[in-house]
Structure 1
Amino acid sequence: MLEPSETLQAPPQKLVMTGMAKLSRAILTVLLAGRHAAVGGRNSRERAANLVRIAAAYSRVELEAEKGIGPARATAVERWLAGQGVSLRVERDCAVSTMARAEVIMAGGAERVEKLEPR
């Protein structure tokens, strides 16, 4: 039988939410502070609870344009979202998408992509 003190203990401070467990810390950091983080809420607790919503707000081009996210990490986010039954945002304008993709590859800068991407 458990002692009374054992039942009242707080959960460990570094408890990872189950939904986030399959994403690396680097990806989590980018998503929780990235360009679409505000979609999830005002503070980090709300954002962590709405991580799927934040990640789904990105298009593939926008995600890869975030500092610290490349093609491999973007694929990891896509797979994680698929496991949640959601996908990345589909870009509406194929011509802009193609230009933005080329800009990311050639210039490697998010500044130029933001100017080309409609919001």
Structure 2
Amino acid sequence: MNEVIQKFGGCTIIQVRHGDDNEPQRDIMYDFCLPENNDSILFGSKMLRACFHFIFIHFKFSGEIIKTEELNISPRNKCPFYTVCCASIRANNSNICAESPWKSMSINNNEGCYYAAAIKATNPPVLPD
């Protein structure tokens, strides 16, 4: 395993700490990366994690796919970075991050939000009429 990590880098790890789940930055996030990895690559890997989360919440246990507009607003949908996030959207719109993170894309001040960036990247382009 050491050889794999040395060649490709590791993953992002979230250290869960004691305290209220709703406390911003309660937990600590560590990136085990290669020296040549830059902030863009690290941001992209977190965006990818958010993409996977967004895709998975669209599936029912039966295999049926749910439309985004039909997703339940629920703590089950909490952003995977909820307890480590330092983006302004987390402080100002924590209810969105906690229950419907895909809506973060619609918030004007969503800079630094992995989930908003992921939704923007995976949304189909709007075609002119």
- TM-score, normalized by length of structure 2? 0.27
- Structure with the bigger percentage of helix: 1
Higher radius of gyration, 1 or 2: 1
* Greater relative CO, 1 or 2 (CA 8 Å, sep 6+): 2
